[in-house]
Amino acid sequence: MPISSRASACGPQASSRIRPGEDIVFLPSGKRSTVKTIEALSGPRPDEAYAGQATGLTLDTQVYTKPGELMVRADQPAPLVADRLRANVFWMATAPLVRGRRYVLRMGAARVPVELESVLSVLDSQELQSVTGAAQVERHDVAEVVFRSTRPVAFDAAETLEPTSRFVVVAGFDTAGCGIALEALPEAAASADGERRFSVGDVTEEQRAARYGHAGKAVVFVGESAEDAHAVAAALERRIFDLGVHSYCLGATDLGEDKDVLGREAQIVRLGEIAWALTDAGIVLVAALGDMDRFDLDRLRTLAAPHEVFVIGRGDGGDLGADLDLPASLATEDAAAAALRALTAAGVLPEPAA
């Protein structure tokens, strides 16, 4: 796995040196391991890797990380991890940087959806004056802004380590701006997305549960293979339906394409809205989303709240905090049977009638 020290995986090493036997931490996930060997394209294995190299490492333990994580030595100061950051940005696009539009922040190998939260000040390139109270950032302006991302990102402040503070902002398919991160900001209050609700009638959740004999729940399968996760989800939904439970099965392909990070974010938001509506209607939703991490699942739980989401991990998906883990070696029907037993034992599903 070609990864790096104090840089985005996969990407060039940004600072310091790394040697076999040293403990490392991946951020923002917080996963740990120890460097086993350092790999080179040709020739003998080097004794160390240093800043500026694109190198490969093997680790003592298997670690599941997504592209864009920073790998740092455990004995070094940790980088910043936040979903809100104050930054200086130079805007190059014809269309201004505005609130309410979703952009992609590219920082190292990380790709995260972001929105402009506020414009703190703007340096007019013609007048060379700093202006506060601006609502947007125009072309060729330099501004100090606050970005809010949909998931945490690891970075360094520019005054600490400039290479891992740099970023570009992508709008559509074009590079629209570039800049440096200045500091991490505290987490803001829950966004409106997490509070979105449908207009409901007079029938209560308790009345539906009394009529149906069960409450609504959301069960989400997570695995490296979306097809495998959906196969187990479909088999489980058939068993749930045969018990007389009102159920519905949903796959990732039903939620739109996830060709980029914005598409993936749209999938999660759509599933969160559907999960809220169906569980509120007293239906047991069984969904499969394939490859996700704990930040995606936290976002999904926020969107579905106050309804609970029961997460089932399929295969080696890393540390997801799943409610149930099913090995990939388990056949589809056996996995569905195991999931049914676990859901019944956890009180998600009613006990089958004698």
pLDDT in tens, 266-296: 888 888 889 999 999 999 999 988 777 778 8
- For the chain, the structural domain boundaries read 17-73, 80-184, 197-345
Tell me the H-state helices in the chain.
Answer: 205-212, 226-242, 261-280, 294-304, 332-345
* pLDDT of 6: 46
Strand boundaries in the chain, DSSP class E: 17-18, 23-27, 31-39, 49-50, 56-59, 70-73, 80-91, 102-107, 110-123, 130-131, 142-155, 166-171, 174-184, 217-223, 247-250, 284-290, 309-314, 324-326
- State the chain's maximal CA–CA distance in angstroms: 81
* pLDDT of 4: 37
Q: Write out the two tokens for 129.
A: 């004056």
pLDDT in tens, 98-154: 999 999 999 988 899 999 999 999 987 677 778 888 899 999 999 999 999 988 899
Can you tell me the distance from the alpha carbon of 317 to that of 327, in angstroms, rounded to the nearest whole number?
10
Domain 80-184: which topology? Elongation Factor Tu (Ef-tu); domain 3 (2.40.30)
Please state which of the ranges 1-5, 55-59, 277-281, 305-309 shows the lowest mean pLDDT.
1-5
Residue 14: pLDDT band by 50, 70, 90 thresholds? Answer: low
3, pLDDT greater than 50: no
196, pLDDT greater than 60: no
Residue 318: pLDDT band by 50, 70, 90 thresholds? Answer: low
Can you tell me the distance from the alpha carbon of 286 to that of 131, in angstroms, rounded to the nearest whole number?
52
Higher pLDDT, 142 or 29: 142
pTM of the model as a whole: 0.68
**325 SS3 class:** strand
How far, in Å, are 16, 104, 265, 342 from residue 75 at the CA level? 12, 32, 34, 41
Q: How many C-beta atoms surround the C-beta of residue 20 within 10 A?
A: 17
* Domain boundaries 197-345, corresponding CATH code: 3.40.50.300
85, pLDDT greater than 90: yes
**CATH architecture type of domain 17-73:** Beta Barrel (2.40)
Residue type (1 letter), 266: A
80-184 with 197-345: one CATH topology?
Answer: no
